[in-house]
Structure 1
Amino acid sequence: MNDLLATAPFEDVRVHLQQICEKISSASMVYLVAPSDLEGVLALANLEASCIDSGIRYSRRLTKSKQHIPHGEKEELEIKNDGLTIMIEPFEDTWDFTELKNDDFVRIVPLSVSIRLGKNKNKRNGALDVVSQCSAIAAMIAPNGSRVRRLRPFAVGGQWLRDSLDNTFDPIHSSIRDVLRDEGSVRVVALPEVSITSDGMIPNLSKTMLRRLKKRWGSMDYDSRSQAIGELILPTLTDKSVSTPRLEELFWHRLVVGGQEMDIYSQINEARIVWPNDEDLTKSHSGAILKSLISNGKLVD
């Protein structure tokens, strides 16, 4: 695995995340706290995997799902005195890391960062989500850990779940995606190259056209493929429910892991579809998904 902290999205917060890593590694006990939502589970899985891989004593607590907390309220959480408490807060506002006080406990929240891309190094601002932060921290704690490596492809999952891509091009998402591709954690392929995809992600998608395109894809050159994708995507552009940047990812940049048949974005969508609404079920469901994710590196079987 490449060092995520050495990449552009993490440049502003590298020292901050290194300090969190040092706190975890030196703690006698680590208490991990995250909400019973997909975002919380994806982030928590990375830290839990790193603790298991490196032999760090830890305890996990899943709190209420965001959907079960009244707007404007927060669940009161206990800060342990006999170890390090880490609170993962995926739905918190975006913070400047210098404003965070991590003396008694550690908060992992979306962080404001800037990234410079292209030949001209044009500066773009964005938010670095908690999943990518936890993935970077986990890789520092257990760089050769089998469980941490298994979860690596989902480092981009938090950025995908944020609404950044629904508004404009997200340079942070693209940068992390490319890191995963370059290090070999995922293959970036076009939609016709994915064996199984989740339904409903692309409005007005012709399944018949896609099925025919899959059969011909292997024998087509680049220009023919571009033209075919253009024809396939055209009906979807009339529906404004999905942004053009997100459609571009869904048609051209699907992330596939090894021999898995379903791409990462489809796995995330399938997981969201079956996430329970019942408050009594969210914690148990989150626990089951967490266990499977760490063990198998997949959100769905």
Structure 2
Amino acid sequence: MTESRCGYIAIVGRPNVGKSTLLNHILGQKISITSRKPQTTRHRVLGIKTRDQIQAIYVDTPGLHRGQKRAINRYMNRAATTSLRDVDVIAFVIEAGRWTEEDAWVLEQLKNYQCPVLLVINKVDKLEDKAELLPFIAARNSEHNYAQVVPVSALRADNLTALEQTLDAYLPEGPHFFDEEQITDRSMRFLTAEIVREKITRQLGDELPYAMTVEIEQYKLERGVTHISAAIYVERDGQKKILIGKGGSRLKSIGREARLDIEKLIDGKVMLNLWVKIKSGWSDDERALRSLGYDDE
């Protein structure tokens, strides 16, 4: 009989390399929100995948970045680095054909940890000349002794099975920590707030890059319908006007997209109410961050 295995795999990298997309495709379900804007992921999110005797617990982390100007940036870096303390293996995600100063900085941080580091080269489908991949891998291997190098395309789900099998080999023998049906450690309230934030980021990423957050004020099931009230916090009146849009059009569009995704997530009917509120300076106020759910996990 095969021994059961269970362990933690941290997915790390600079912002916008496709970490959340990678996790969602591995799980076959969306639990981490995605957008083209850097730093979309703000919290540590566990994604749990149980296959036969193996339970892989993926830790999706905010993108590690050098800029720590505001409290929220410092929070995201703390969330990412504390997630690395007790993991069994690290999947360091970079973009094919692109090595930046930020990537080099992340690599320096990873040298502080004892566990094996796999280099996951994402977005290989975007390489126009596939012959560039081998010299790119050779250059990366000359900088650090990676346990293994695995090229993938998270978006197209290319080579993900091979990546999973490679990572599984580093998981220790032992009992499973979570029920085999469980897919994340996060609550429905959290996932709902994240879906609303994703829709805002996708529609208004340029106008409201980091000055917005979402808090669920009500979440209850009544006669087969889930009633959700969400407060969207911005820092200034001008941002509130942008978010609401002409005649409330932008807010309605965000609400419609979010409701459809939430209905898919919970497999049921949803009544979603969105409110926009001003909380000036929340993103640079440690106390305000904690009250809005940005606590060190």
State TM-score, norm by structure 1.
0.31
Structure with a larger share of its residues in helix: 1
Greater strand fraction, Structure 1 or Structure 2: 2
